[in-house]
C-alpha cells in the first residue's frame, strides 16, 4: 500500500529528528525579524521555512540511505535498515528523494527569489555529504555545515539578503552537529576500520574522538556567546546558552571510551533537548527585546 510505504520512508529518514535543525532555523528567522525584518506575512514565512526545512532534510536523508545502502547492509548495526533489509525498493527511495527535493525548491520559491536561486546549491551541499566518509575524516564537519546553513537560509528567507552576523549561528550549529556526530560514529569504529571508511574515531581512536567532540561543543558555545554580543541580545539568550552548556556537559558525561551503551541517549535525547530549549530561551529573549519589555 502506498501509505504504508510512505510510513516506512518516514521511518527510514527518522522524520522525527527534524527537531535537531528546525529550532535553529526558526531562531535564525526570529533574529532576522528582530533586526528589521517585515512583520507582515511573518506567519506564512515561518510556514514555508518549515516546509523547506522538512523537504531538504527528507531529500538529504533518503539520498544518504540510498548511497549507503550497500555499506549499511554489511554493518551489523545498520543491516536491518529499510533498504538493505528489502522493506523499501531503491526505486521508491529515488522517487521519495525527487518529491522531497521538489517540495524544498517550491517552498524556497514561495519565500523569495534569492532562496529559489540558492536552493539547488543547498541540495548539492546536503547530497555531497553522503560521499564524504569515503575519503575524509572531516565528514562530521560537512554534516555540521549541512545543518548549519539552516539559520542563515532562514535569515535570507525573511530579509532577502544575508547578514554576516548570522554566520556565527551557522558556525555554532555546525560545531554542535559535528560534535554529536563524532560521538555517534564511535559505535562504528571497528566497522569503519574494516571497511576503510574515514571518521575521527578511526583516525585517532574512540578516546581521542570524544575529546574532539568536547572541543567542537566548546566552540559551539563560544560562537553563541559571540552572536549574543554582536546582535546585542539579552539575559534570556545568555541563560539559553547556559542551559545548552549544561545539557552538553551531561551528554559528554554519559559516554565513555570503554562504555558506549548510552550513545543513543546522548545523540537523540540530549540533542533534541538542546535544540528545543535553545529556541525557547532565544525566542523569549527576542520577543522581549522586540516589545521593549
pLDDT attached to residue 7:
85
**Dihedral sign, CA of 136, 251, 245, 55?**
positive
Average pLDDT over residues 73-81: 93
Question: Going by C-beta distance under 8 Å and a sequence separation of 6 or more, which residues neighbour residue 287?
Answer: 30
Residue 82, classed as helix, strand or coil, is: coil
Question: Going by C-beta distance under 8 Å and a sequence separation of 6 or more, which residues neighbour residue 152?
Answer: 28, 162, 166, 167, 169, 170
Query: How would you label 211-238 residue by residue, b for 16+ Cβ within 10 Å and e otherwise?
Result: bbbbebbebbbebbbebbeebebeebbe
pLDDT attached to residue 289:
64
State yes or no: pLDDT of 13 exceeds 90: no
Contact 4, 132 (CB under 8 A): no
Per-residue pLDDT reduced to its tens digit, 18-55: 777 899 999 999 999 988 766 667 889 999 999 999 99
pLDDT attached to residue 34:
86
In total, how many domains does the chain have? Answer: 1
State yes or no: pLDDT of 213 exceeds 80: yes
pLDDT attached to residue 68:
97
pLDDT attached to residue 9:
83
pLDDT attached to residue 118:
97
150 lies in which domain range?
2-291
| Residue 160 falls in which region: left (phi positive, over 0), alpha (psi -120 to 50) or beta | left
pLDDT attached to residue 8:
83
State yes or no: pLDDT of 292 exceeds 80: no
Average pLDDT, the chain: 92
Per-residue pLDDT reduced to its tens digit, 155-198: 999 999 999 999 999 999 999 999 999 999 999 999 999 999 99
Residue 5: which pLDDT band, with cuts at 50, 70 and 90?
A: confident
Instruction: State percent of the chain over pLDDT 90.
Output: 82
Per-residue pLDDT reduced to its tens digit, 137-153: 999 999 999 999 999 99
pLDDT attached to residue 268:
78
pLDDT attached to residue 288:
81
Q: Would you state the cell numbers that stand for residue 78, as one nine-digit string?
A: 545498520
* CATH number of the domain that residue 260 is part of: 1.10.357.140
pLDDT attached to residue 41:
73
**Rounded to two decimals, what is the model's pTM?**
0.94
State yes or no: pLDDT of 124 exceeds 80: yes
Amino acid at each position: 500500500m502506498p501509505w504504508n510505504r510512505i510510513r516506512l520512508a518516514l521511518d527510514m529518514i527518522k522524520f522525527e529528528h527534524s527537531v535537531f535543525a528546525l529550532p535553529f532555523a526558526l531562531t535564525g528567522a526570529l533574529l532576522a525579524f528582530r533586526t528589521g525584518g517585515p512583520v507582515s506575512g511573518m506567519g506564512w514565512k515561518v510556514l514555508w521555512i518549515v516546509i523547506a526545512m522538512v523537504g531538504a532534510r527528507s531529500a538529504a536523508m533518503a539520498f544518504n540511505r540510498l548511497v549507503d545502502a550497500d555499506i549499511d547492509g554489511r554493518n551489523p548495526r545498520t543491516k536491518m535498515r529499510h533498504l538493505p533489509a528489502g522493506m523499501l525498493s531503491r526505486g521508491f527511495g529515488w522517487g521519495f528523494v525527487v518529491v522531497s527535493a521538489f517540495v524544498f525548491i517550491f517552498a524556497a520559491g514561495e519565500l523569495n527569489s534569492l532562496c529559489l536561486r540558492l536552493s539547488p546549491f543547498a541540495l548539492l551541499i546536503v547530497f555531497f555529504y553522503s560521499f564524504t566518509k569515503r575519503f575524509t575524516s572531516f565528514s562530521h564537519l560537512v554534516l555540521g555545515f549541512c545543518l548549519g546553513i539552516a539559520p542563515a537560509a532562514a535569515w535570507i528567507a525573511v530579509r532577502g539578503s544575508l547578514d554576516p552576523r548570522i554566520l556565527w549561528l551557522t558556525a555554532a550549529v555546525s560545531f554542535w552537529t559535528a560534535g554529536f556526530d563524532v560521538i555517534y560514529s564511535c559505535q562504528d569504529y571497528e566497522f569503519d576500520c574494516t571497511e576503510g571508511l574515514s571518521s575521527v574515531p578511526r583516525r585517532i581512536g574512540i578516546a581521542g574522538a570524544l575529546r574532539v567532540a568536547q572541543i567542537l561543543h566548546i566552540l559551539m558555545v563560544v560562537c553563541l556567546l559571540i552572536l549574543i554580543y554582536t546582535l546585542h541580545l539579552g539575559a534570556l539568550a545568555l541563560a539559553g546558552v547556559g542551559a545548552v552548556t549544561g545539557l552538553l556537559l551531561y551528554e559528554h558525561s554519559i559516554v565513555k571510551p570503554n562504555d558506549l551503551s548510552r550513545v543513543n541517549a546522548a545523540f537523540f535525547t540530549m540533542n533534541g533537548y538542546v535544540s528545543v530549549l535553545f529556541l525557547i530561551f532565544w525566542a523569549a529573549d527576542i520577543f522581549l527585546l522586540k516589545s521593549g519589555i
